[in-house]
Structure 1
Amino acid sequence: MKVLLLEDDEPLAVEVERVLRHAGYAVDVTHDLESAEIAAESNSYGCLVLDRSVPGGDGSALVATLRRRGDLTPALLITARDGLADRVAGFDLGADDYLVKPFAAVELIARVRALSRRGQVTVPPVLAGAGIRLDVQRHTTHRHGTQLLLRAKEFAVLEELLRASSGVVTRSDLIERCWDEHHDPASNVVDVVIAQLRRRLGAPDPIQTVRGVGYRLVDGTDDRPTADEPPGGDGDA
């Protein structure tokens, strides 16, 4: 899942970005209100983490703007303002949660996870398919009863494949949902993560390549081409 972070205190922004990435999130970092507005208009996020006092205005103003547009992306406001009136004002503008500085990393992650689940109420907490069981909340993965230790990006990609329920997930979808703005679109990171994920999942390979499009999960991939993949292609080109 991708998070938008708005924080003008650079040392704090670096630390919050590090904490979120360690928890498995892709993070786009902005330092002023205008940059955050542009990012929110250009990308899809699972959660917004916004400082209130930033160059260009108040992070809560971005929440209000998004709500007027019908955008219900969960928003967490972080601020040194701990007064009741400040908290109420943030909620009135459409914020979903409020975290007062200084805060513990574990609390930040817990709140982001809670908001992410709130924004995906139609998604079951446990995803399953092709012998795989992925617990989104506990961040655990099993295949045929054996627990697998996946890296953050591997978990994120597998989650997207399971959510598609045997439908095709394009490379651009994976990049949009699992990588942040620092991703080089010309790189082969998607292929690398898919290859790593295949090794960890073991045989039979549940990830099928749809040549020129993307990937999908099946109950035991064989070497037959899909309708979009001509015979003789390995689908990784």
Structure 2
Amino acid sequence: MDNFLIIGQPRSGTTYLQTLLNAHAQLHCRGELFDPWQIDDNGTKTAGLDAVIARDRDPVGFMERMLAGEGMHVGGRMLGAKVLFQHHPALFAQFVPQRPTLKLIYVYRENKLAQFASGRQVAKTGQWTATNAAPVAPKIEAAPFWTASECNRLVNEDFLLRAWLKTLDNPMLMVSYAGLFAPDFRQRVQDFLGVTPQPDLASPLVKQGQNRIIDRFENPEILARYFNETGRGQWLDAELPTTV
């Protein structure tokens, strides 16, 4: 059976893609199985030290069993999972390189200020995803030097992910956060995975944060000055077309 992995960072669009793929009758992404705090099997969460230790004692074997359909009715679907930067290193060092036929979808968010702000906002609300139009997300206050440091970390993590991906022979599809909403993306990802096209494919998730990124902050003036004067002013503006 073919399998796929969604690769990326938190708040880069990987959960949106997971829910989009799970709307297809021939696909099932099991989600963030290697969440450091729990096993998140597409929303079914198994927490507790014993469960996490059992998983992390044999991460390669655990992922192999889950992608083979352990604990679920496969029903002929292609199975996948999410692998994020902070997940178990054996996935990057062993599991993926040893499986060159594994299909990889790399999701990255070009606007790192948006990615940082999204993480801070959901940490404030405790609502990591939303399926209904929610009240305006709370604004956050973030010191410019700390914000810059976190954005730099996100840029550097993406750099390292890309460098690692270049060492692999796996079939690969790369897509930006904004590209997830492009008119042709649904067709592209279905073609890549080799499934029958399903034209009505849609995710139930809705965007939570303000689209104009600087509007997410309580101290916009100082942040705008910093990012404008250091050559990253494009991060302050709207991330997606207003029609999305």
TM (norm. structure 1) is 0.25
Greater Rg, structure 1 or structure 2?
1
> Which structure would you say has the larger RCO, counting Cα contacts within 8 Å and 6 or more residues apart?
2
TM (norm. structure 2) is 0.25
Q: Counting strand residues as a fraction of each chain, which structure ranks higher?
A: 1
